[in-house]
Amino acid sequence: MPATSQTTTASVRRLPNLFDLAAMLLLAAGLIAVGNVARHTLGPLAATEGTTIHLEPSYLPGYALRTTLRMFAALALSLLFTFTYATWAAKSRRARLILIPILDILQSLPIFGFLTFTVTFFLGLFPGQVLGAELAVVFVIFTSQAWNMTFSMYQSLTTVPGDLDEAARGFQLSTWQRFWRLDVPFAMPGLLWNMMMSMSGGWFALVASEAVSVGGTNFTLPGIGSYIRTALMVRNIHAVFYAIAAMFLVILAYDQLLFRPLVAWSSKFRFETTQQDQGRDPWVLALLRRTRLLRMGADAVGVFFFAVTGLRVGRRRPASIVATRRGSRLVDVIWASLLGALVVVAIWRIYSFCRGSHLGPGDVVIAVTMGFYTLLRVIALMVVATVVWVPIGVLVGLRPKLAKSVGASAQFLAAFPANLLFPIFAVYIIRFHLNVDIWLTPLIILGAQWYVLFNVIAGANAFPGDLREAARNFQVGGVLWWRRVILPGIFPYFVTGAITASGGAWNAAVLAEIVTWGPTTLRAHGLGAYIQDATTQGDSGRVLLGMVVMATYVLTFNRLVWRPLYAYSSKRLTL
């Protein structure tokens, strides 16, 4: 072909096409929507105190847009937190000693416990502005999203296959290069499924965070969360169903536009040597691949990204392990001493506060006993969730086409606010005179069980195809296949899901152990009911005592059960 023809063909390939027009329209619509919502954040906060949430369905699109942008802002913050916190915990043995227990405590604390502090703090940063209230809501949503993403990233970083680690050392990658070229790609499949779970979990926080009353400050931010709360207050069942339908459409939209393309894109990071059939590309990904202008822009971004994180061979840094071992032991002793001192100081401060609140040994015994009841519920529900969702998660995760089709449905079920089902359980218990301690128990696991399902799907989806092929060639099937092939392969992911699910169950117990419907209040024995009663009575001493007992139970259970399983999966079940 003549040079002139080649030049002409290349020029034509750079011209925009119809796919560019469609992509540009989608991009422009997104930017206009973001700008329109951002404009309201600069208004006065006083205007939100008298905000009326209209329950007509025509208002739901605007409410849904504002809610979605808050959730994605929280997701971006959660992703930044995950990259920094999880990497620090995985790479530093000393930091891990304090960061992982803190994460265990944070994921078990009730989301609503963050409201008072965050609202006061952010409103103080931007006094009299809606921006402060918006940031407070975003932070509360962040607390419902970040922990499971961080655990997923941490699990991936601690189970990187040895040959990949050796390859990174062979290329002499710097810490920054290794993070972007090995750690993030290896963690991406599991992290994406946990991002989906985080988006679904954020809906639960919205109901409490978009309409807040703290001290003398009241504000109501338009959104689906405040819409649901208003509908529940006035008992408008039709409005509740409208909100549920809007939630489903929003979840379907961001599943199609974001998560489904990302899951398909992340399949290239799977650790395997055989090519697996991933099915057809999602329509958004196919659209982006057929555009010309956007692909040129993406290529330019890729060139810049590669310039920052690309494979560059540097000088090997000689490490003298023998020379630094003695100093390392000394630093370990100093670090352990500092941690011990901090623990002693914290225990003394808590003891002094409880003593000043006139709490005695009898109150501690009651709180510990109530915690034991909740612990039994959490253990029983974790066993049920494991038996039910592990086989289903494996079935879905090993079939990429099936995973794509059930993705939006699973996200919707996980996003469904569990408190909408509380009245149904209350009516059922009252009607048939059932045992409250038993039949309020399922409410604890309604939201937490999905952490197990999503992480098992992620583990099965990331399971190497060459190992599946080897098992098929050796005719390994039945119980032996479960024991020797798939369960060891997904076990690290399951442990991650179980840790976050158990923490979420402790969190949910604060709301689920006391259910009110009309004039009737149902109360189960447990630490959640203990904390909720103390909060209602304004007894800060008992609230603190309940939170400390809950944190102690969570840390002890994690240390005795989940952490040994985590260490076992990292050492024995890593590819």
The angle that helices 487-512 and 527-537 make with each other, rounded to 10 degrees, is 30
Phi, psi angles (nearest 5°) of residue 539:
-90, 90
Q: Does 509 or 408 have the greater pLDDT score?
A: 509
Please tell me which of 56-60, 310-314, 421-425 the model is most confident about, judged by mean pLDDT: 56-60
Is 246 within 8 Å of 60 (Cβ atoms)?
Answer: yes
CA distances from 535 to 270, 279, 357 (A): 47, 52, 14
In the chain, the percentage of residues whose pLDDT exceeds 70 is 74
Q: Region 326-355: what's the mean pLDDT?
A: 71
d(C-alpha 571, C-alpha 90), whole Å:
14
> And the tokens for 412?
């919707």
| Beta-bridge mates of residue 523 | 514
Phi, psi angles (nearest 5°) of residue 278:
-95, 0
d(C-alpha 455, C-alpha 461), whole Å:
10
CA distances from 353 to 113, 229, 250, 542, 543 (A): 18, 35, 46, 10, 11
Amino acid identity for residue 115 in this structure: L
d(C-alpha 138, C-alpha 149), whole Å:
16
Is 456 within 8 Å of 389 (Cβ atoms)?
Answer: yes
User: What's this model's pTM, rounded to 2 decimal places?
Assistant: 0.78
Per-residue confidence band for 17, with pLDDT thresholds at 50, 70 and 90: low
| Mean pLDDT, the chain, integer | 78
d(C-alpha 385, C-alpha 131), whole Å:
40
Give the list of residues 6+ apart from residue 34 with CB closer than 8 angstroms, or none.
Answer: 69
pLDDT, tens digit, 9 for 90 and up, residues 155-175: 888 888 878 888 888 888 888
Q: Region 21-25: what's the mean pLDDT?
A: 65
| Beta-bridge mates of residue 174 | none
Is 425 within 8 Å of 479 (Cβ atoms)?
Answer: no
Q: What is the DSSP string of 81-115?
A: HHHHHHHHHHH-HHHHHHHHHHHHHHHHS-GGGGH
Is 529 within 8 Å of 514 (Cβ atoms)?
Answer: yes
d(C-alpha 510, C-alpha 371), whole Å:
11
Per-residue confidence band for 275, with pLDDT thresholds at 50, 70 and 90: low
Give the list of residues 6+ apart from residue 107 with CB closer than 8 angstroms, or none.
Answer: 147, 148, 151, 499, 500, 503, 504, 507
Report pLDDT for 312: 44
> And the tokens for 508?
């949910």
SS3 170: helix
d(C-alpha 311, C-alpha 313), whole Å:
7
CA distances from 557 to 104, 123, 338, 413 (A): 10, 37, 24, 28
Report pLDDT for 405: 72
| pLDDT surpassing 80 at residue 27 | no
d(C-alpha 8, C-alpha 1), whole Å:
11
For 517-534, the three-class secondary structure string (H helix, E strand, C coil) is ECCEEEECCCHHHHHHHH
d(C-alpha 21, C-alpha 562), whole Å:
51
Amino acid identity for residue 435 in this structure: N
pLDDT, tens digit, 9 for 90 and up, residues 187-223: 888 898 889 888 888 887 777 677 766 555 667 788 8
**Statement: 358-575 belongs to CATH 3.40.50.720:** no
Topology alike, domains 21-284 and 358-575:
yes
- Structural domain spans, the chain: 21-284, 358-575
Q: Region 554-567: what's the mean pLDDT?
A: 83
Label the pairing between strands 217-220 and 514-517.
Answer: unpaired
Q: Which CATH superfamily is domain 21-284 in?
A: MetI-like (1.10.3720.10)
